Amino acid sequence: MKLLIVGGAGYIGSHCVLESLRAGHEVVVLDDLRTGHREAIGDVDLVEGSLHQPNVLRSVFETHQIDAVFNLAASCSVPESVHNPGLYYHNNLAGTLNLAAAMVEAGVTRLVHSSTAAVYGDPEEVPIPEDHRMQPVNPYGDSKRLVECTLTEMAKAHDLKHVCLRYFNAAGADASGLIGEDHADESHLIPILLQCALGHRSHFTIFGSDWETRDGSCIRDFVHVTDIARAHLMALERIDDLAGESINLGSSHGASVREVVDIAKRVTGCEFDVREEGRRDGDPAVLLASNEKASSLLGWTPDNSDLDFIMETAWRWHRTHPSGYGSDFRQIPGQKSRFGELAVKLGFVTEQDIDRVLIEQDKIRSEGRGHKMMGLCMVEMGLISTTQLVEILRHYDDGEE
């Protein structure tokens, strides 16, 4: 099939692009790159344009024989939506309306649409079933709720088959380490923790430690981004039978914020400062998906959503791209330097030490302090003595491998 993936250059969208290509589909991406990245989709056909440009939408459907659409384009920061609600109703609701109208005009009938757990608000029941009342507590969730209602009404009047997938906390990265999460103003828990591990943030803050949960911190449901991408393809396969359905995508196993912090420290091997502050407005104590409907209707199970695997894949991405898609690839973890290899071979440092040195070098660079030699970093970090530095340099100069 030929798929149009709107918002395909974003975090989840780029994983949908990759899984679709792996499944043998052709893909065209429409994205205005407001938060997405050209590099996230390699050489996939990109139409750089917005959902607010009806001419661009019309031209995409005229130029390409599109069989189905995945719509992931949205503004999706909860705090930003509170400060700028107009942007959220405009981009998420009006944008999707434009897309649906263009699809109707072009006779493209299949749409898998990104929705969110934020449509429920503070839950009365966990795990949350899809028929739970929708009472969002912020404009982001409300804009997504309104999109669902609008699509339902449009589907009554037009030949438009849609499925809304309500993701819980999307996390992790493709196992290849090639693509991952890169948001300029990061508000998600796992990338923030990994930025702490990289030394890009001074500390991590737990908001609220007096909830009625097993350790006092909030409980959230993390679902691997690859599992979300797989669900899009499964929904598309069954869309004739499932049209009009809204389906949760979550692991149904929650982790507390404290547990996630511990896993981040264990997987990265990095210590960082953790502080505690009071509860934030609008944070429910527990958010957990019931995923029975995804299992029974789609045959979907969250195969990759074990939290260790989520953290490992996220860390693989973040440590090799410490500054996101704009990272300097000359000296990043995983890209072994000969100096580093010699230091390991001589038994002075471990592979993990090298990763830490590379992270430190990247941090120095990103702070505009230039490039610091690996050997010098190792000495300053107390990993090797100056005598050992001289010894490594002797082997280095000898051209020894």
Ligand X SMILES: NC(=O)c1ccc[n+]([C@@H]2O[C@H](COP(=O)([O-])OP(=O)(O)OC[C@H]3O[C@@H](n4cnc5c(N)ncnc54)[C@H](O)[C@@H]3O)[C@@H](O)[C@H]2O)c1
Nearest residue (CB) to ligand X, 76 versus 288:
76
Nearest residue (CB) to ligand X, 11 versus 272:
11
**Residue span binding ligand X (CB under 6 A) among the ranges 9-17, 62-70, 229-237, 339-347:** 9-17
Residue 248 near residue 291, CB atoms below 8 Å: yes
41 binds ligand X (CB under 6 A): no
User: CB 13: neighbour CB atoms within 10 A?
Assistant: 28
73 binds ligand X (CB under 6 A): yes
Q: How far is the CB of 333 from ligand X (least distance, A)?
A: 23
CA dihedral 173, 179, 181, 183 (to 10 degrees): 180
- Six-digit token pair at 309? 């695997």
Nearest residue (CB) to ligand X, 311 versus 354:
311
95 binds ligand X (CB under 6 A): yes
Q: How far is the CB of 225 from ligand X (least distance, A)?
A: 8
Nearest residue (CB) to ligand X, 234 versus 349:
234
Q: Is 140 a catalytic residue?
A: yes
256 binds ligand X (CB under 6 A): no
Separation of alpha carbons 389 and 260, rounded Å: 37
Separation of alpha carbons 130 and 293, rounded Å: 8
User: CB 170: neighbour CB atoms within 10 A?
Assistant: 24
Residue 137 near residue 121, CB atoms below 8 Å: yes
**Residue span binding ligand X (CB under 6 A) among the ranges 30-38, 312-320, 337-345, 361-369:** 30-38
Q: How far is the CB of 78 from ligand X (least distance, A)?
A: 10
35 binds ligand X (CB under 6 A): yes
Q: Which of 20, 96, 109, 116 binds ligand X (CB under 6 A)?
A: 116
From 255, 259, 261, select the one nearest 274 (Cα to Cα).
Answer: 261
Please say whether the dihedral angle defined by the alpha carbons of residues 384, 386, 389 and 394, taken in this order, is positive or negative.
negative
Q: How far is the CB of 75 from ligand X (least distance, A)?
A: 6
E-assigned strand segments in 128-262: 161-167, 169-171, 203-207, 219-224, 246-249, 254-256
Q: Residue count at the site for ligand X (CB under 6 A)?
A: 26
What's at 232, amino acid-wise? Answer: H
Residue 112 near residue 137, CB atoms below 8 Å: no
353 binds ligand X (CB under 6 A): no
74 binds ligand X (CB under 6 A): yes
**Residue span binding ligand X (CB under 6 A) among the ranges 73-81, 333-341, 347-355, 375-383:** 73-81
Q: How far is the CB of 214 from ligand X (least distance, A)?
A: 23
Residue showing tokens 């969250």: 302
From 162, 173, 248, select the one nearest 19 (Cα to Cα).
Answer: 173
Choice among 140, 167, 325, 396 that is catalytic: 140
Which residues, at least 6 apart from 368, have a Cβ–Cβ distance to it below 8 Å?
A: none
Residue 202 near residue 273, CB atoms below 8 Å: yes
* Residues within window 161-180 making contact with ligand X, judged by CB under 6 A: 167, 169-170
Q: How far is the CB of 100 from ligand X (least distance, A)?
A: 14
Binding site for ligand X (CB under 6 A): 7, 9-13, 31-36, 50-52, 72-74, 76, 91, 95, 114, 116, 167, 169-170
Residues marked as catalytic: 140
